[in-house]
Structure formats: C-alpha cells, structure tokens
Structure 1
Amino acid sequence: MSGRIDLGLLVAALTAALALSPAAAAPQAGVMDARAQIAAAPSATITNGLITATVLLPEGDKAFYRGTRFDRSGVVSALAYKDRQFYGPWFDRISGEVRDFAYDGDDIVAGPNTAMVGPADEFDFDTPPGWAEAAPGGVFVKIGVGVLRRPDDAKYSPFRTYDLVEPGRRTVKIGKDAVTFTHTLAEPTTGYGYVYAKTLRLPKGQPRLLIAHSLRNTGTKPIVTTVYNHNFLTFGGAALGEGLSITTPFQITSGRPPSAEAAAIRGRSIAYLKTLRDKDRVSSSIEGFGTTAADNSATVHDDGLRAGVTFHGDHPLSKMQLWSIRSVVAVEPFITLVVPPGQEAHWTYAYDYAAA
C-alpha cells in the first residue's frame, strides 16, 4: 500500500483492515527533506467534522519513521482544527550523520531516531526490557518497535540505531474517525512477549483526540516499563516564545528550571519571556505533582496565535519535563506500568484543542 488514503471521501461506515509487512525497515540514510518524506509516506486521514488528522502508517521501508526509539504506531503528521495546524515536522531535514538533532545554517536537522512528529510515544528511554540481561550480540525488546540486538557493552542510548532482529506482526484497522494499531511480539529467549494496541479516535462533536493504549503480557516475565508522550507541538510552524505558556493543575517546582532570560515559573505556569530564535532552547523538569491521575495534565497555549491544547492522562505521573526550541514545544508526561504475565494494562490520553 502506498500514497495517501483519504477516508473522508469514503462512506462514513467504511473500515479497512491492513496486514502490514513484517520486513525489517532500515533507518533513513543520507540527507532527506522532512516534508517530502512525510508526503511520500503511506497515511490515513481521519475526521469527525471538526478535526482532521493525518496518521502515518508503519509500512516497512515505505514508512516515514524507521528509527528504533519511538513507538512506530499512531504517528500524527498533521492535525487541523478551525484554521490552526497543531503538528508537523519541526525539523527541515533528516540525516543519518546526526545523533539527536543539529543546526545547519537556518535548517534544523534531525537524526533518524529523533525524526518524529505529533504526539509520539516512547517506551523505556533509559533501559528497555532485556537490555541489562543481554550480552553483546544478545537481544532485548523495545516496545512498539520490536526485538533489537545489543551490539556491545556501551550504555543503552535511545539516539543510537540498533539492528531490528524481529519486527513482530502489525495490523491496522482504519475507520472514518479512528485508526487502531496492533503490534504482536514474542521473544522466548528473553521471556518477553506482548500484544500492544493503540487507538486514535476523534469523538463526534468534540475538538478532541483520544489515544487509548493496551499492553497484554504474553511472555513469562513481568513487563516493567515507563512510557511517555513526547508531544511534538508545532503550531503550524510559527516561531515560539513570548506569549506561550504551560499550565498544570499543581504548583510547579523544578530542580532544573528554565534559563531566567527565556522563561519563568509562575505558580502553576511556565511563561515564555522571549521569542525563541536560532539555537535558543527552553527546557525544565516539571515537579510538584501529586500521586493521583488528576495531576497528569497540562495546557500549552500561545496567546499570539490564540490556540492551544490541553492533555489529560488517566494514570499518575512518574515524571514530567519540558523541552522546546524555536520550532517545537514538548511537554512530556511519564507514567510507569507493571504488567505481570497474563495480565493487561490500559491507559488513555485525551487531547483537547482550542482555536479562536
């Protein structure tokens, strides 16, 4: 399957099921234009009449994202509400020579493992299941990616590309207002196996995106995993900064506050004090949250653009942090899951969009 699927032209009740190729996809090599790569990637368009979203499909070598860091399902390359765009590429080019991201003149260049867009999930930024037990040449599991090979004794790095030994089986079910991804993986030598499902749905009559996940442990070992959403919010490519704020339900403290000239913590908010240019960066740990899911929420709003998004999660936070450069702002909520063999975990995020 290739090209763009516009389900808005189909009968509202139409659904489709795709069995995706299990072939291992190599990360991007060389230097490529990010927007051209997205345009060429297989995708599905979903809509509820208020919101229209483009969801990229994880179809082997045709897929946009081929790194070994982020969950490959549910990649949102564009989401429009009223006349506002909320997601899109925050980098200009992709290069296999770049570890994380770098600047080249006026361009931002992302490495193949960081070149992700939209509200993207990553499991186990620090240590994936099976990594600690794997000797060089052995294998470990990156949830949402597959079975990877540990090449040496170096510390695990999400920015490093690892050989994909077993991609598992992926299926996708597409409807007019929803897409469901299922990733089934088994690695008996490590004791890890799972069925991971992720549904993106646009509820009728609401400017809302629901992202519902389930993780069923089919292996013999408990799955202890920390997952976060990177939330690559771009506001349609507008320069970010003065007038932008992040607001939480709790009083914000930070052991790693933002630089004083760029942003300030003010009670429950972080306020940007300048427009970000060139290599400016605003980053901070966001602390002060409690032990209930009520604090797993944040609003990112740009007064100048008169647009914003609020997310709500249904699990308590284990960590939250902020990262932003001139082209993107990311408020990242982390949760920790413990899934014994034979059991299943569920978690959901609701994203509410606002535009004047």
Structure 2
Amino acid sequence: MRQKLLVGLVALLMSASRAWSAPPQAEITNGILNLRVYLPDAEKGFYRGTRFDWAGVVADLRYAGRSYYGPWFSRTDPNIKDFVYDGSDIVAGPCSAITGPVEEFAPALGFDEAKSGGHFIKIGVGVLLKPDDEKYGAFRMYQLVDGGRRTVKRGQGFIEFRQEVEDPSSGYGYIYTKTLRLTKGQPEMVIEHTLKNIGRLPIRGNTYNHNFLVLENESPGPAYTITLPFNATIEEGKNKDLIEAHSNQIVFLKTLHGKDRVFTGIEGFGTTSADYNVRIEDKNVRAGLVISGDHPLSKMALWSIRSVLAAEPFIDFSIDSGSEASWKIRYEYYTF
C-alpha cells in the first residue's frame, strides 16, 4: 500500500511538472546581448491571444548585467478583458499578457465585411471566426480557425519566423517574415519584417510595437527620461500630475505606484524616418536604449503603469495584391 502511494505521488508530481513546463522558447546571443524568445505554439505557447503578433515575443534580453524585458503582470486570468489590479497583483487578460517588443497590426482584415460565422484575419495571428455583429475588440478573444503554416529558423545570432496565411473566403492572404538579429560585435538588436500580399484584396493599415520595457523591474519615475528628435506635445490634461513635456523630452513627475496610469498621444514629429528615434534612459539603473525605425511615424503613444513603460511608434503600410513591404526597427542598448 505504501509503495502504491509513493508511485501515485511520483506520477502526480510528474504530471504536475509536465503541466507547469515552460512554454517553447529559444535563446540566441552575439556574445554581448543574450536574448530569449518565446516560440509560436497554438497549444503550449506563452502567448495565444488574438491581439498581438505571435512571432518574436521577447521573454528577456540581458546586457551588461541588466535585464530589459520581462512580465509586467503578476498573473493571467481568461476572464479579464485587458488588465486589472487585485491587491498587489496586476492581472492580465489573455490578449494583453505578453512581454518585450511585440507588434500589433490594424485593422483586423475583413472584419467589417464578414457576417456572423464568417472569417477575418489578424496579421501575425491567422484566420479568426467572427462570432456576432459586434464591433471588433482588440481585447476580445476570437476563435482561431487557421494559424497558417509557420516555420522557425535559427542561426548564429538570429532567429527567423515565417507565417503563410491564405483565406479565399475573406479575400485576404499574406506571407509574413520576421527576423530578430543581434548585430555582430555590438549591443544592438534589429527586427526585420517583410509582409507579402498573396490575397486578392489590398492590405492597408498600420503596425506599431508596444515595447513593454521592464528595465530591472524599476517603476517608471523621475529617474526616467524619454528623449525625442522633435519638440514633443502630449495630452497634458489627464496626465498632468504624472508626466510633462519639456522641449524634446518627456519626464515623469513622480514614481508611478498603485493604480497610476499614463496614456497619451505624442505629437510634433515630421514626415521623415529621422523622427522615429526614441531614447529611454534610467538614471538609477544607469542604462538605456534607443529605438529607431526606417519609416516615417504615422502616430505615437506612451503608456505606462507602475510595472512597465511602453513607447509605441506607429507606421502605415499599403500593399497591393502581389506586392510586399519591408521595414526594420533597431534597438541599441547602452549603460553609463
């Protein structure tokens, strides 16, 4: 009897271990930066929401003893829409529970045209089912009909994700390739994108990177400075006690805590890619990064709570059937 109980206990522990096993992930390095990335997986993936691109979700990046990314939430709950505060916990819903530099594409292709039970597409996710006639909701979980054909290639200092999705019923289709590349001999990561339209309808919209920065888990506050190449203006009314814009800088007036929340659009940028350049620096941690893109900004936002700071640069795209678009985002990490 005792032996049976021991065998049963071991089996239970093994089962629990399998249930709690880490999601699929990969690590790459250039000897200076160490990058850990979650892999797309419809059954076991870290992120299986229907808002953000599944490819290249950064779990952590380390440079010079500093960690730049990680979870900004304490736990997840499928019943939560975006996120909520529960005592000292931050609880995220399935469409928001993601980490690091991650991208979202908008609009959801074909959603407005689809009838209930019809298909629409979210780039980076796949073909989704429209359940009713309500408006599209980014925080709403939709049923995944077809995640397309995905491949992952990894080499010295890079990892490449490829997804091919085609849905004749909606008229949309694409081949999306995303590569995270660590520059040889430098503390730099470049995210390279190519989006090819293989459907019969044009693909038009925008994409942005949410850039969930969790630098050494320090709460955003007066030690942080955001520097831009242009004189920035922000929506001061709802953020007046939390942040201010001074010429080309945005500064925090206090350390965020409790339910403090910063959300503002940022204006003042021009029509060239030179203004897609965001420097974020933390004087306490004595580290920072520069985020730059090779396309002009179409929009920019800043979102922050006590656990994370997110600068969100947007770019527009317009891709006719048979054509493709490419763009890059460069991340330069430094200490001082």
TM range (shorter): over 0.9
Are residues 1:47 and 2:29 paired? yes
Cα offset for 1:190?
1.2
Are residues 1:193 and 2:173 paired? yes
Determine the structure 2 residue equivalent to 1:73: 55
Are residues 1:172 and 2:152 paired? yes
> Which of 218, 226, 241 is the matching residue for 1:261?
241
Determine the structure 2 residue equivalent to 1:248: 228
Q: Is the 8 A contact 2:243 2:250 kept in 1?
A: yes
Residues 252-261 or 83-92, more deviating: 252-261
Paired with 1:291 and 1:190, the residues of 2 have a C-alpha distance of 33
Q: Which structure 2 segments of 5+ residues have no match?
A: 1-17
Between the two proteins, what is the percent identity of the paired residues? Answer: 50
Specify the code of the residue in structure 2 equivalent to 1:334.
F
Larger Rg: 2
* Residue aligned with 1:323, SS: strand
Q: Is the 8 A contact 1:38 1:64 kept in 2?
A: no
- Compared with structure 1, are the counterparts of its residues 351 and 257 closer, same or farther at alpha carbon in structure 2 (3 Å cutoff)? farther
Q: Is the 8 A contact 2:236 2:244 kept in 1?
A: no
* Residue aligned with 2:326, SS: strand
Specify the code of the residue in structure 1 equivalent to 2:38.
L
Are residues 1:345 and 2:325 paired? yes
- Compared with structure 1, are the counterparts of its residues 38 and 290 closer, same or farther at alpha carbon in structure 2 (3 Å cutoff)? farther
Determine the structure 1 residue equivalent to 2:72: 90
When the two structures are superposed, what TM-score results if normalisation uses the length of structure 2? 0.92
Paired with 1:207 and 1:76, the residues of 2 have a C-alpha distance of 16
When the two structures are superposed, what TM-score results if normalisation uses the length of structure 1? 0.87
Q: Is the 8 A contact 1:256 1:285 kept in 2?
A: no
- Compared with structure 1, are the counterparts of its residues 256 and 343 closer, same or farther at alpha carbon in structure 2 (3 Å cutoff)? farther
- Compared with structure 1, are the counterparts of its residues 335 and 256 closer, same or farther at alpha carbon in structure 2 (3 Å cutoff)? farther
Cα offset for 1:38?
9.8
* Residue aligned with 1:329, SS: strand
> Which of 190, 196, 204 is the matching residue for 1:210?
190
* Residue aligned with 1:76, SS: strand
- Compared with structure 1, are the counterparts of its residues 74 and 243 closer, same or farther at alpha carbon in structure 2 (3 Å cutoff)? same
Are residues 1:322 and 2:322 paired? no
Paired with 2:295 and 2:236, the residues of 1 have a C-alpha distance of 24
TM alignment of 1:268-287, pairs within 5 A: 268-287=248-267
Paired with 2:87 and 2:41, the residues of 1 have a C-alpha distance of 33
Q: Deviations over 1:259-288 (max 9, x none)?
A: 222111101111011111111112211101
Determine the structure 2 residue equivalent to 1:146: 126
Cα offset for 1:225?
2.1
> Which of 219, 235, 247 is the matching residue for 2:199?
219
Calculate the aligned-residue CA RMSD, in Å: 1.5
Number of equivalences: 319
* Residue aligned with 1:294, SS: helix
Runs of 4+ in 1 over 3 A off after TM superposition: 36-39, 255-258
